């Protein structure tokens, strides 16, 4: 199924993860506010700024609180994972 949606590029950021510091691109997909999300820009996604484009973190402001999810493990990447020391 194909679902069209709008995605806003927020900028670039260095993210501290359990793997080390990683350069990321930050996006905000526009979501429907009301039942689940507080506002249209309540969801933020951090994607690795390398050839892999791995989703590293997702953070959302919900109608009844908030949620944050970080990548725990990965394997079988086509390209090497870029960690900043």
Rounded Cα distance, 58 and 60, in Å = 7
pLDDT of residue 36 exceeding 90, the answer is no
pLDDT of residue 38 exceeding 80, the answer is no
pLDDT tens string 50-81:
999 999 999 987 778 889 999 999 988 898 88
pTM: 0.82
Q: Please give the DSSP secondary-structure letter assigned to residue 64.
A: T
Q: Tell me what the mean pLDDT of segment 35-50 comes to.
A: 81
For the chain, the average pLDDT equals 87
């Amino acid at each position: 199924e194909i679902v069209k949606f709008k995605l806003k590029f927020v900028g670039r950021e260095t993210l501290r993860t359990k793997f080390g510091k990683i350069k990321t691109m930050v996006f905000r997909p526009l979501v429907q506010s009301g039942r689940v999300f507080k506002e249209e820009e309540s969801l933020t996604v951090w994607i690795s700024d390398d050839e892999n484009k791995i989703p590293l973190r997702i953070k959302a402001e919900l109608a009844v609180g908030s949620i944050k999810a970080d990548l725990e493990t990965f394997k079988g990447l086509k390209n090497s994972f870029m960690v900043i020391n």
